[in-house]
Structure 1
Amino acid sequence: MNELFRAARERQGLSRRELADAVNVVRHGDPERAARAAFNADHVGKIETGKVRYPDDDLRRALRSVLKVNSDEELGFRPHRRLQNSDSTSAGRSRGPAASSTSISQLAAELRRRQMFTPAEAAGSGGVDLVQLRNAVGAAHLAYQRAEYADLVRLLPDLVYRTDGAARRGAEQHRALGILGAAHLAVSKLALKLGDPALAWVAADRALRSAQQAGADNLAAAAAYSVACALLASPGHVADAADAAAEGLARIPEQSSPAALSVSGSLTLLLALIAARRGKAKIALGHLDDAAVLADRLGKDRNYFWTGFGPTNVLIHRVTTAVNVRQFNTAVELGERIDTSTLPPSLVSRRAQVQLDLAAAFTAQPGGDPSALLHLLAAERTAPQIFQVHDQTRTLVTAMLARERRAATPGLRALAVRARINAN
């Protein structure tokens, strides 16, 4: 029996059939194709009874996404020794750092290509189940937070395509528009992570317009957050990013609900990062203190509108801000006190960010490279794909290689090889 798997299903309140349906949507994107998929309640039963002990890579990824866990081990999936030995030679296709910087560029190009559909094409698509589609979009956001970027390139455009068609007709257009806004929001986040701020800006604007049409104020504010992030990543638009974040805050009529507190808090944290980028440390600290007040009102770390906002996230942003304003001792002092176990389980990349910030802080100190390497290795274990998309960290590793003392930093070159960073 696989008790871990059954317990994970029951925690989500899903029957075997409901789990199979959700997994098929995540795997295939298109609900019509999902309805024809072979995976069904009987297959779920075989996993729970132990008749199937190690599903294939694609199915395991979908199960992790739907059941909201970070690892195969949490679902009781452990490969046979022969598979483990084979995986060790291939660096693990789905979760290890197998994608090179070139492949990340290819992923970004593929995302751009698949986003370029016409309204006529979208409107001509078949009917959809909005509940399934909403769940699939939510699962896509969680996959992004788990740093599963390669999977999302395949899944997201189909979700946008189907939801756009539903938002153009039928009695539930208004509801579909909200789901469409959330789908565009996920595309914006992914595009920015893959190094395409222009596409991120377009997708965030689409998310904002869809949310406004749906009358979804909190979603519109979350979209404004992504607009600001895209602007911040675009040369010469730092001031525009600050304006967009401030406008996002203004879109929230009141900060009484947990969702409104979460979105307001995330925008306030973004204002802190923007101020730090502009070298305004005192203003950045003021925004951080404002965010801390909102986090205290929220009470604990939540994930409304996929913000991951709460007291721990405020501390993480204090570390990032300290690094940005070159207060490295403060960053180390704060970072080593953070307990990321209080974060929602899906926030894998946020946990890794703490390690990346600490690595940056240590490299700025004399003799700090050995400690920096330990944090880089911890980040790699937490979110392997993040090394392929985090340019600052790739630059950091390159700088460490240039001054390398192999006896002091064993494992640095191996890390560079796994991340496809030139170690020559």
Structure 2
Amino acid sequence: MSETGKSLKEIRKRRGLTQSELSTASGVSLSIIRKLEQGERESARLETLRKLAATLRVPTMRLSSGPNGEGPIVGTVERWEAVRHALERPPLDPELSDEAPTVAGVRQAFAKAEPLFQKSQYAKLAVVLPPLLRDAEALGDEGRPIRVRLMQLAGLLMVQTRQFDTAEVALSRALDDAADRLEGAATIHTQCWLLLRQGQLEAALDLAVRWSDETEPRMSRATPSELSTWGLTLLNVTAAAVRNSQPGQAADALRLAKAAAVALGREYKSETDAIRAFGPTTVHLKRTENAGVVDRPDVVLNLAERVPVSAIPPSSNRNRYELDIADALTRTGRYADGFGTLVSIQRAAPEWLPNQTYARTVLQRIVEGRRTLTPEMRQMAADIHLEL
């Protein structure tokens, strides 16, 4: 029997529940519970473990046997090979050039590439990022600020495409070069997300809490950059806590994040963070996400009515928000509407969607809820690597 199965059986019995009663209370199938406790399954998806943990009143990681992040999809390793080399291999024999890179030139090239990050245009980024990274490396100490920003974004891309080891390299280098705690916090945001994607919920929560303490400003004289940094760190706390079945801590962190957003009064993008913004809309997106995590599709749809998708600029945050809506629609039996939302995301971010396990989960629920599948549904399943 796996550690997950042992823990589940022990805690279930301590709570005085039968397998059938736990299944009814948690919404997890009796078959999965039996297979876990009998050792026929080593573990389960984090969503399943969270449901069981929430019912048993323990942190999710009490039922987890360790990191279980899903790896990259087919073709990812080959596509990003040049980027990985630029991140991981030191320049052993730099090429001589009459036109050495300059800070101004690299900064200008970065500005041109930044919209590609916002729109998740991976094919183009895989081409433009390696020379950018090499040029930033060649700048030495003078190019440290732009190099930190590039490493932050490279780490973000590696997390998005589930290349976790390479993400660690990029984020570690960005943190090592950070000039102050605000610049460091911009890297920690992605580090927390990396840990969440790997299923390391307690590690993510500990890291987020530590940095929220480090970056908490004096509200009476806080700058917009300080408020934004603290607010984003609090959103890391709430994301990790809600997944680890610690609703009180998740609610407290979200409340403080809302206070920071109200103090800002608008969406604000800090100079120390290359891609993220923070403000009332960002807090709303996280509140919606949390509602989806705890299986409240009614709340997700209610919140979505307050901030329509069209009001949010294109970004991976917007894509995630739409996935939350698609998930809520399918959970309430509105399969056609849920699929329509998936189609909308695919049109806006065709390279981002296949990397999302969440998207496959939503489409699988649509497949299971319909008697027949349309050709468009079958095509999307192929596009996002869902086996029918």
Q: TM-score range by the shorter chain?
A: 0.7 to 0.9
- Note if 1:223 corresponds to 2:187: yes
Q: How many angstroms does 1:358 deviate by?
A: 1.0
* Mapping 1:35-114, distance limit 5 Å: 101-114=73-86
Structure 2 counterpart of 1:357: 324
Asked whether the equivalents of residues 107 and 194 of structure 1 are also in contact (C-alpha less than 8 Å), the reply is no
Q: How many angstroms does 1:341 deviate by?
A: 4.4
How far apart are the structure 2 equivalents of 1:189 and 1:229? Answer: 9
Structure 1 counterpart of 2:280: 311
Which of 320, 327, 351 matches 1:385? 351
* Mapping 1:181-330, distance limit 5 Å: 181-211=148-178, 215-235=179-199, 237-252=200-215, 254=217, 256-304=222-270, 305=273, 306-330=275-299
Asked whether the equivalents of residues 355 and 384 of structure 2 are also in contact (C-alpha less than 8 Å), the reply is no
RMSD between aligned residues: 2.6
- Note if 1:116 corresponds to 2:116: no
TM-score of the pair, normalised by structure 2: 0.72
Structure 2 counterpart of 1:154: 127
Secondary structure in 1 matching 2:75: helix
Structure 2 counterpart of 1:12: none
Q: Which amino acid aligns with 2:288?
A: V
How far apart are the structure 2 equivalents of 1:319 and 1:372? Answer: 16
Q: Which amino acid aligns with 1:207?
A: A
Q: Which amino acid aligns with 2:300?
A: A
Secondary structure in 2 matching 1:147: coil
Q: Which amino acid aligns with 1:194?
A: T
Task: Identify if the C-alpha distance between structure 1 residues 184 and 322 changes in structure 2 by more than 3 Å, giving closer, same or farther.
Answer: same
Task: Identify if the C-alpha distance between structure 1 residues 139 and 299 changes in structure 2 by more than 3 Å, giving closer, same or farther.
Answer: farther
Q: List per-residue Cα deviations over 1:74-106 (Å, max 9, x = no partner).
A: xxxxxxxxxxxxxxxxxxxxxxxxxx9423343
Runs of at least 5 residues in structure 2 that lack an aligned partner in the other structure: 1-71
Asked whether the equivalents of residues 82 and 130 of structure 2 are also in contact (C-alpha less than 8 Å), the reply is no
How far apart are the structure 2 equivalents of 1:206 and 1:360? Answer: 36
Q: List per-residue Cα deviations over 1:294-317 (Å, max 9, x = no partner).
A: 111212123322212111111111
Task: Identify if the C-alpha distance between structure 1 residues 279 and 331 changes in structure 2 by more than 3 Å, giving closer, same or farther.
Answer: same
How far apart are the structure 1 equivalents of 2:343 and 2:165? Answer: 31
How far apart are the structure 1 equivalents of 2:310 and 2:103? Answer: 33
Q: List per-residue Cα deviations over 1:235-265 (Å, max 9, x = no partner).
A: 4x32221222233334437362222222221
Asked whether the equivalents of residues 140 and 152 of structure 1 are also in contact (C-alpha less than 8 Å), the reply is yes
Q: Which amino acid aligns with 2:308?
A: D
How far apart are the structure 2 equivalents of 1:228 and 1:391? Answer: 18
Q: Which amino acid aligns with 2:303?
A: L
Structure 2 counterpart of 1:67: none
Q: How many angstroms does 1:110 deviate by?
A: 4.7
Query: How many aligned residue pairs are there?
Result: 310
Structure 1 counterpart of 2:8: none
How far apart are the structure 1 equivalents of 2:193 and 2:96? Answer: 33
Runs of at least 5 residues in structure 1 that lack an aligned partner in the other structure: 1-99, 168-172
Q: How many angstroms does 1:419 deviate by?
A: 3.6
Asked whether the equivalents of residues 88 and 169 of structure 2 are also in contact (C-alpha less than 8 Å), the reply is no
How far apart are the structure 2 equivalents of 1:121 and 1:395? Answer: 46
How far apart are the structure 2 equivalents of 1:205 and 1:262? Answer: 22
Q: List per-residue Cα deviations over 1:322-373 (Å, max 9, x = no partner).
A: 1111122111111232134444x4x4322222210111122223x2322211
Q: How many angstroms does 1:286 deviate by?
A: 1.7
Q: Which amino acid aligns with 1:243?
A: D
